[in-house]
Amino acid sequence: MKTFSRSDGHEGCLFSAVLLDATQTEMRLTAFNEDAKKLYPILEEEKVFFLSNCSVSRSRQQYKLKDMEFELKATRDTQVQECIRQDIQSLFQKVSITPETIDIISQKAATMDRFDTLDTIAVVHSIGEKREIDTKNGLVDTREVLFVDQTKHAIKLSLWRDKATVPPFKQGDVCILKNVGVRVYREQPALTLLSSSQLIVNPEWSDEAIKLAGWARTNLTPDFTPEGASIMSSGDSPAASKELRHRVPCREIIHRKCGLEFPMTFFVHGIVCDASSKKLYYLSCSKCKKKIEVQGQQSFCPNCQQTVAAVPRFMPRVTIMDESGTLSAMAFDETARKIIGHTAAEIFDADQRNPDREGGDVSAETREMLNEAVHREGIFKVTCKGNEYQGQVRQRCSFSNFIPLTAGKWAGEGRLLLKSIKDILGME
């Protein structure tokens, strides 16, 4: 089930399912809002249902799946009933697929449209470590899986969220991947699980899967090395390599007055030494996120021109230090939350519970929460821009991301230290 919001502020939900009938013909069913809420708890994978009173239309090109010219849409009159007859259920055991080998997929990847999908059967060669990726919706678990087949070629698949936390397969399992997308990232093809994709582990009814399992038992020895993709370790991620390339000390950012002519971004390995308690947060509009005006018991948004719910958002000035000196910069909402370790709403509630502030500043409870951030170590992404003030252009820095140092990140730090030592000694 997915949620969405339109530009007019309307919010809704939807879900889609790929249906297979006894003739091995597939068709997608899509349901919206109340229809989605009604059908989503009923439909289950690998179960048989009777459906009635659905509308039929041609598939839209941008959402069209392979070989699906038409699609179904649920209506308020749509009825769904589970079929419990074993003789009918047996007709639906198999999934119709047109598998392609990994070497062919690698050749086709560069010319495939982003809406194209394909099927393949492959063996799980290796499963990478779980990592956390910072997205606009917060930290998300991800994990890379390497698949191989009888062509001895390999291709990666990224798992996200629950599937990354607990993978649905183990090393050596044979998987049918149906209706998967293909993307080219860093000049390497990779598979992508879509909402319409199907992942079937060790299917006993598939002759191709059984043959591939036999090949795997014979050929997937410890010294087997596939051609093509490989799984990156936590410290070798593209983000980590970018951090190493653009790493600078605090002193260099200040003394070189970076960002005055055009915006510049750097990464600093630093430690938090202070989180300012002045202007720690502001009350924002729940819709446009702009600053609001509090009028008695109501919150008015000048931008939306209406009364809205007030949402606290961070805007503290954080000071970090490294071996070269200190750097003070603003940190906003999500980045500040990572640095401080608390949400703006938690800080706001603490202030409201303690109206007697310390010297008119923040409450003792809030100060204790801010002190938790002191000595927090990590990689700070610093954005530098020129800001005109009273006819002069001044440097303005802000922290646009914070990555705490975990076990995986220390591997990258170790390589950077080793490289610095080699540069000093003149070693290659």
Mean pLDDT to the nearest integer, 330-354: 88
What is the C-alpha separation between 131 and 161, in angstroms, rounded? 10
**Hey, how many other C-beta atoms are within 10 angstroms of the C-beta on 237?**
17
221-233 residue pLDDT tens: 877 878 876 554 4
Read off the pLDDT of each residue in 357-377 and give the average, rounded to a whole number.
Answer: 78
Give the tokens for residue 72.
């179904």
d(CA 394, CA 261): 10
Q: Choose between 196 and 38: higher pLDDT.
A: 38
pTM attached to this predicted model: 0.47
DSSP code string of 122-154:
EEEEEE---EEEEETTEEEEEEEEEEE-TT-EE
Structure confidence at residue 426 (pLDDT): 80
Q: Are 39 and 78 in contact (CB under 8 A)?
A: yes
The pLDDT score that the predictor gives to residue 136 is: 64
Q: Which residue segments constitute the domains of the chain, with CATH numbers given?
A: 2-92 (2.40.50.140), 102-230 (2.40.50.140), 239-280+315-425 (2.40.50.140)
What share of the chain in percent tops pLDDT 70? Answer: 84
H runs (alpha helix) in 203-332: 207-219, 238-245, 250-255
| Side-chain half-sphere CA neighbours of 182 within 13 A | 24
Q: Give per-residue pLDDT as tens, 387-399.
A: 877 778 888 899 9
The burial class, CB within 10 Å (0-12 / 13-18 / 19+), for 328 is middle
* 361 neighbors 276 (Cβ within 8 angstroms): no
Average pLDDT in the chain? 82
Query: How many alpha carbons lie under 13 Å from residue 161 in its C-beta half-sphere?
Result: 4
**Joined tokens for residue 42:** 């009923």
Whose structure tokens read 């999908």?
Answer: 117
User: Amino acid letter at 297?
Assistant: Q
Question: For 3-32, what is each residue's pLDDT tens digit?
Answer: 887 767 778 898 888 887 766 677 888 999
